[in-house]
C-alpha cells in the first residue's frame, strides 16, 4: 500500500496496525473549490491520492487530510508563533471539531473511496505561560490547529468524543471498516 502523506503520525498508525507501506508524495496545492467544509477536505484528500495513484495504477493508494474547525472556521497549520498563540487562545476552554478525511484509490481495481471522521475535542483553559512553553517545544508548528494530541499538546485536552486516531491524523477504525465494505480482506494486510 502506498501512503500519499509525509505525516509521521499517519505512517505510525498504519504500520502499527500491520500495513506494509511505501511513502510517495507530490506537492499539491491544498485548496478546494468546494464550499462545504467536509466536502472541501475530502476533495483535498482525494487530490493527494489521485496524484500518486495515476502513476501507480495497480497499487492501493491512501491519503488523508486533517483540519481543526471552530465557529465554522478552519484552523490549518500555523505559519508562525503569532498564529499558534491566536489559535490556542481561540481553542482555550472550548470545544472544537477535528475533521479527518481519508481516501483509498486503486485505479486498476476501479476503487475510488473517500470518507470522513469527525471528533469533538474539549480543551481546558490555557494560560499564556502554557502557550509560550508549548511554542518553545516546537511541536505545534506542523499541526492543524497548532497542537498534537499524541504529544505535549495533550496538556490542553480535557476530553474527546470520537476517534483518538482521527485527532492524531488518521481515523483507523473507520478506515478498517471501509476496507471491509470494499471487500478488501484484512488477512492480506502485508500484501496491501
pLDDT digit string (tens) for the chain, length 192 residues: 999 999 999 999 999 999 999 999 998 888 899 999 999 999 999 999 999 999 999 999 999 999 999 998 999 899 999 999 999 999 999 999 999 999 999 999 999 999 999 999 999 999 999 999 999 999 999 899 999 999 999 999 999 999 999 999 999 999 999 999 999 887 766 666
- The active-site residue, picked from 36, 65, 71, 185, is 65
pTM (predicted TM-score): 0.91
Domain 2-191 in CATH 3.90.950.10? The answer is yes
- Among this protein's residues, is 71 annotated catalytic? no
Distance of CA 32 to the CA centre of its chain: 16
Instruction: Give dist(CA 129, CA 85) in Å, integer.
Output: 11
Nearest of 43, 42, 37, 62 to residue 52 by alpha carbon: 62
Sketch the domain layout of the chain as residue ranges. 2-191
Instruction: Give dist(CA 95, CA 98) in Å, integer.
Output: 10
Amino acid at each position: 500500500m502506498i501512503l500519499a502523506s509525509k505525516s509521521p503520525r499517519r505512517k505510525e498508525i498504519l504500520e502499527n496496525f500491520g500495513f506494509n507501506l511505501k511513502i510517495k508524495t507530490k506537492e499539491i496545492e491544498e485548496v478546494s473549490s468546494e464550499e462545504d467544509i467536509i466536502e472541501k477536505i475530502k476533495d483535498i484528500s482525494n487530490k493527494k491520492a489521485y496524484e500518486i495513484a495515476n502513476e501507480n495504477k495497480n497499487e492501493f493508494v491512501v491519503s488523508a487530510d486533517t483540519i481543526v474547525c471552530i465557529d465554522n472556521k478552519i484552523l490549518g497549520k500555523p505559519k508562525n508563533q503569532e498564529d499558534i498563540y491566536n489559535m490556542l487562545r481561540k481553542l482555550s476552554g472550548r470545544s472544537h471539531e477535528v475533521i479527518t478525511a481519508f481516501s483509498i484509490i486503486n485505479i486498476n481495481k476501479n476503487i475510488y473511496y473517500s470518507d470522513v471522521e469527525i471528533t469533538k475535542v474539549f480543551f481546558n483553559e490555557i494560560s499564556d505561560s502554557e502557550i509560550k512553553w508549548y511554542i518553545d517545544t516546537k511541536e505545534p508548528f506542523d499541526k492543524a490547529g497548532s497542537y498534537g494530541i499524541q504529544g505535549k499538546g495533550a496538556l490542553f485536552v480535557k476530553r474527546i468524543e470520537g476517534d483518538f486516531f482521527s485527532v492524531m491524523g488518521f481515523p483507523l477504525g473507520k478506515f478498517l471498516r471501509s476496507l471491509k465494505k470494499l471487500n478488501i480482506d484484512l488477512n492480506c494486510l502485508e500484501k496491501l
